[in-house]
Amino acid sequence: MKTLTYACVVFFAVVTAAVPSWLSAQTPAPSLAKELAATFQRAATEIVDVAEVMPADKYGFKPTPEISSFGDQLVHVAGITQRFIDAAKGTKTEAAHHDAMAKPEIIGLLKKTFQGAQEMITPLTDAQLLEPVKFPFGDRTVTRATFWQGPLYQIRNHHGQLVVYLRMNGIVPPTTARR
């Protein structure tokens, strides 16, 4: 009986010691850089979906005269994202203006701009996200992670506003329609 008890204790000790290493081998540590890239991609896709579902004749829609039109909001999001891309590259791009753009051009601008940002975000490592960089607004230095939260915040903020524009026009937002 002592031998059986001893064998069980040894068996459970070995299994208990092996399980944590087995679990960690199955579940790699999450990467902040990969999570940031995936979050940015989701946000970009969701706002492009909003842009695509709004009819072209509603791109000039404003809930009240004092605020930006649907199209202006989208061009603004592309412009602010481009400003972050330019700051990261050390370049400057001329801002687009909605008045001269139709729905297909605005959607093309959004896709091109978001692809440019994604190309800059995707190769980043966790270590690079901790590096200090100059923020494009104000005179301050932030981590690269905080830097790239800037356009992500803008995309999410305007997505929420544009969902209201859709609802006011009787359109179910794509994120709701997918549920």
Task: State how far the Cα of 72 lies from the Cα of 66, in Å rounded to an integer.
Answer: 12
What pLDDT does 3 receive? 54
Contact 33, 128 (CB under 8 A): yes
* Residue 11: CB atoms within 10 Å: 10
Residue-wise pLDDT for 109-155, tens only, equals 999 999 999 999 999 999 999 999 999 988 999 999 999 999 999 99
What pLDDT does 8 receive? 43
* Residue 96: CB atoms within 10 Å: 18
Span 35-64, mean pLDDT? 97
What pLDDT does 20 receive? 54
Contact 126, 31 (CB under 8 A): yes
What pLDDT does 114 receive? 97
Nearest by Cα to 70 from 58, 82, 57, 83: 58
Q: Is the pTM of this model over 0.75?
A: yes
Domain 31-177 has CATH 3.40.50.980: no
Sketch the domain layout of the chain as residue ranges: 31-177
Mean pLDDT taken over the chain:
87
Q: Collapsing DSSP states into helix, strand and coil, what is residue 123?
A: coil
Nearest by Cα to 118 from 95, 156, 88: 88
pLDDT-derived band at 95 (thresholds 50, 70, 90) equals confident
Nearest by Cα to 168 from 89, 72, 54: 54
Residue-wise pLDDT for 9-28, tens only, equals 444 444 455 555 555 556 77
